[in-house]
Amino acid sequence: MSSVLRAGRTAGLLCLGLSALLPMLLLAIWSVGDSWFYPALWPSRLTAESWRALLSGEGRLWAAAVTSMLLAAGTGAMACIVALPVGRALARLDGWRRHLGAALTFLPVAAPPVALATGLQFSFLSLGLGGRPIGVLLAHAVPAVAYVSLYFTGVFAGFDARVEEEARSLGASAGQTFWFITLPLLRRPLAEGFALGFLISWSQMPLTLLIGGGAVRTLPIEVFAFVEAGQDRIAATGALVLLVPALVALAAARLAASRTEVAAV
């Protein structure tokens, strides 16, 4: 490879890294910066006030983080429970049935979020679910189930169902086979499916706004509200907290990948 190409590749990677890291770095400074106005290059004063409020469990940010956490965990769990059998069924179809099934499953993902949210809002309001956490949870579950189902379709396409047959033949009932064999073998895909569902809910805005009607205050909603109100330090703190699960998921994926490499050796 020529040195020009190598230099170009390095520069490209550097730009990509900076484009991801720079906004995070700015957020970190904003979250502790006080009275930072143009053209100053650095805040005139540093304060940990917003972090202290968040970590001591005071203020709207903490409450919103807890709400988001519960909703995301619920969505991740619900997505796995529903998507597991859906993905398995899709993987067992063949030909046009599989394509049709996958297309129908993908529909909530392909639809623009606002269109989906508006459609869901009409039905959820008539069911009395509008403005309630359970309504928001169910709404978040719609795209999450779609994404996780497609993920599980791939997982089950590579899953050797003969292992389950072997267990049945050795005397295990359908329930025992699922509990002792299928579930442990799917532990990692389940964790990944849960993480996927969790992240979809964690960053969800349109569905929370339209179904929650402002009564259900999640972290993205609060961050948005703080930005609008010009409270940049609290908004930056909230935005950094929003990044945490994604970073944890990335680190976990990297760890799992390195473990798989070791196991393969």
Partner 1 sequence: MSTAALRIERLSAPFGSAPGLEDLSFEVQSGERFVLLGASGAGKTTLLRAIAGLAPAAARRMEVAGYDVAALPPERRDVVYLHQTPLLFPHLTVGRNVGFPLRVRKVPAAQAAKRVEEALSAVHLESFADRMPHTLSGGQRHRVALARAIIARPAVLLLDEPFASLDPSLRQEVREAVLTIQREYGPALVLVTHDLDEAGLLGDQVGVLLRRRLAQVDRPAQLFARPTSLEVARFLGMPNEVVGRIAEQGCFESVLGVLRVSRTIAPGPSVALFRPEAVRICERGFMAAPVVALRHRVHQTTAIVEVGGTRLEVALGGARPPAAHSLVQLSIDPDQLMIFPAP
Burial class (CB within 10 angstroms; exposed 0-12, middle 13-18, buried 19+) of 149? buried
Residue number, 114 or 163, with CB nearest to partner 1: 163
What is the closest distance, in whole angstroms, from the C-beta atom of residue 103 to partner 1 in the complex? 25
Does residue 104 interact with partner 1 by CB under 8 A? no
* Binding segment (CB under 8 A) for partner 1, from list 49-57, 101-109, 148-156, 180-188: 180-188
Number of residues in contact with partner 1 under rule CB under 8 A: 19
Residue number, 171 or 230, with CB nearest to partner 1: 171
What residues form DSSP beta bridges with 33?
Answer: 46
DSSP, res 33: E
Residue-wise DSSP of 51-104: HHHHHTT-HHHHHHHHHHHHHHHHHHHHHHHHHHHHHHHHHH--HHHHHHHHHH
Which pair of tokens denotes residue 254? 């990297």
Which pair of tokens denotes residue 211? 């179904």
Residue-wise DSSP of 114-153: HHHHHHHHHHHHHTT-TTSHHHHHHHHHHHHHHHHHHHHH
Does residue 260 interact with partner 1 by CB under 8 A? no
* Binding segment (CB under 8 A) for partner 1, from list 26-34, 48-56, 149-157, 164-172: 164-172
Does residue 230 interact with partner 1 by CB under 8 A? no
Does residue 170 interact with partner 1 by CB under 8 A? yes
Of the candidate residues 13, 14, 180, 215, the single one contacting partner 1 (CB under 8 A): 180
φ, ψ for residue 34 (rounded to 5)?
A: -125, 140
What is the closest distance, in whole angstroms, from the C-beta atom of residue 165 to partner 1 in the complex? 5
What is the closest distance, in whole angstroms, from the C-beta atom of residue 167 to partner 1 in the complex? 7
Residue number, 34 or 165, with CB nearest to partner 1: 165
Question: Do you know the residue count of the chain?
Answer: 265
Residue number, 5 or 265, with CB nearest to partner 1: 265
Residue number, 79 or 84, with CB nearest to partner 1: 84
Residue number, 24 or 183, with CB nearest to partner 1: 183
φ, ψ for residue 46 (rounded to 5)?
A: -110, 140
Give the interface with partner 1 as residue ranges (CB under 8 A).
Answer: 160, 162-163, 165-174, 176, 180-181, 184-185, 263
